[in-house]
């Protein structure tokens, strides 16, 4: 709770401090949808709340208020805007979005500490959380995005699965599929743990994908376009085999010298190597490796805008951060400081670009 609260204050303070120096290109702003009613970029209210109204956040706020009244809205899954709508009965919608994200971060950090129980020392656990906090784009956990809610549900689904609390694990997994499409991937480790347990109560785990499938079914029943079609029409992204998505990313890096894309690909490779290599520092669970691989493969399955959102999607790969924590507890303070500084500077650079409308995460 202390770490989550401190990070909330830090991100809010940094955004407020950035606000006088941001000079976004009006063309970049208006190339995004739903920017016709942005708040005036002046005053304390803007510095604390309005500055977070960027990119996907605008869609979540609109869905919370008006529902799925535009075709492109179907890309954004319903759980997070539903939570915003519920909390906005008491406070303004933007404040509600940030509050939901912050509370979710608390549960995410708590869940990661539970997963690290018996694996890491107390120092290792704290260093693991520190690395999560400085990971490039980790600020988005405190923005009006669905990441923190999805990650919290995924992590707690795994926690409950390890404890053989199958009802709670299935419920968290089902809700994760309603928060983001990647949330349904927690079905993979849950199913593997359920099969290994051979418990009758574990038979409910196959219900986990019903969250995502019920949303897709509602879209079809209500006559709306599918999520895949919406990505193709409005984002210029088409589903392809993972190797084609990887090939396009490499091609763009080589031919167009896309530095940001190169950083994203480097982070993907780092997480894959850390997650899949044979571990001696912590227990290597096959279900964790399968989940990590599934998340990465899903990121590579779109072409047109390769690795869009890759850095923040990698936050989903909880096994990598457990391993990072195991390495970090052996580092001296100088080495830890170096990695935290490098990752933290990348995180702040991404945050600046996000707030300045110059980069889509």
Contact by Cβ (8 Å): 181, 214: no
- pLDDT at position 280: 63
From 296, 181, 298, select the one nearest 240 (Cα to Cα): 298
What kind and span of H or E run contains 47? helix 43-48
Q: What is the DSSP letter of 282?
A: S
- pLDDT at position 343: 95
Q: What is this structure's pTM?
A: 0.94
194-213 residue pLDDT tens: 999 999 999 999 999 999 99
- pLDDT at position 175: 98
- How far CA 327 is from CA of 124, 175, 284, 330, in Å, comes to 8, 32, 14, 6
Q: Number of C-alpha atoms within 13 angstroms, CB side, residue 262?
A: 8
Delimit the domains of the chain by residue range.
2-234+332-355, 235-330
- pLDDT at position 212: 97
- pLDDT at position 291: 96
- pLDDT at position 122: 92
For the CA atoms of 6, 9, 11, 15, the dihedral, rounded to the nearest 10 degrees, stands at -160
- pLDDT at position 360: 63
- pLDDT at position 283: 75
- Burial of 95 from C-beta contacts in 10 A (0-12 / 13-18 / 19+): middle
- pLDDT at position 281: 66
Q: From first to last of the 361 residues of the chain, give the pLDDT tens digit.
A: 999 999 999 999 999 999 999 988 888 888 888 888 888 888 999 999 999 999 999 999 999 999 999 999 999 999 999 999 999 999 999 999 999 999 999 999 999 999 999 889 999 999 999 999 999 999 999 999 999 999 999 999 999 999 999 999 999 999 999 999 999 999 999 999 999 999 999 999 999 999 999 999 999 999 999 999 999 999 888 889 999 999 999 999 999 988 889 999 999 999 999 988 877 667 778 999 999 999 999 999 988 888 888 999 999 999 999 999 999 999 999 999 999 999 999 999 999 999 999 866 6
Q: Cα separation of 150 and 186, whole Å?
A: 10
């Amino acid at each position: 709770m202390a770490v989550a609260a401190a990070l909330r204050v830090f991100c809010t303070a940094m955004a407020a401090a950035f606000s006088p120096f941001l000079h976004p290109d009006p063309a970049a702003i208006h190339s995004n949808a739903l920017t016709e009613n942005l708040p005036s970029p002046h005053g304390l209210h803007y510095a604390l709340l309005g500055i977070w109204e960027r990119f996907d956040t605008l869609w979540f706020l609109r869905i919370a208020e008006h529902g799925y009244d535009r075709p492109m809205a179907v890309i954004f899954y319903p759980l997070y805007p539903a939570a915003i709508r519920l909390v906005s009965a008491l406070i303004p919608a933007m404040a509600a979005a940030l509050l939901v994200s912050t509370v979710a971060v608390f549960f995410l950090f708590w869940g990661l500490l539970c997963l690290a129980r018996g694996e890491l020392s107390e120092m290792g656990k704290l260093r693991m959380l520190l690395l999560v906090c400085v990971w490039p784009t980790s600020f988005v956990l405190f923005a009006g995005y669905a990441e923190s809610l999805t990650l919290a549900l995924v992590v707690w689904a795994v926690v409950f699965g390890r404890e053989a609390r199958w009802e709670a694990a299935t419920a968290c997994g089902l809700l994760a599929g309603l928060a983001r499409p990647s949330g349904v991937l927690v079905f993979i480790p849950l199913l593997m743990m359920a099969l290994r347990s051979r418990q009758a109560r574990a038979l409910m785990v196959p219900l986990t994908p019903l969250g995502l499938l019920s949303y897709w079914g509602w879209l079809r029943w209500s006559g709306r376009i599918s999520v895949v079609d919406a990505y193709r029409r409005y984002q210029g992204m088409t589903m392809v085999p993972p190797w084609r998505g990887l090939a396009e990313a490499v091609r763009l890096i080589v031919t167009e010298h896309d530095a940001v894309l190169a950083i994203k690909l480097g982070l993907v490779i780092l997480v894959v190597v850390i997650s899949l290599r044979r571990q001696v520092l912590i227990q290597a669970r096959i279900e964790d490796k399968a989940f990590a691989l599934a998340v990465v493969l899903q990121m590579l399955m779109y072409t047109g805008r390769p690795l869009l959102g890759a850095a923040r999607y990698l936050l989903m790969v909880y096994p990598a951060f457990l391993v990072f924590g195991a390495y970090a507890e052996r580092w001296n303070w100088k080495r830890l400081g170096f990695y935290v500084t490098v990752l933290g500077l990348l995180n702040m650079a991404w945050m600046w670009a996000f707030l300045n409308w110059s980069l889509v995460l």
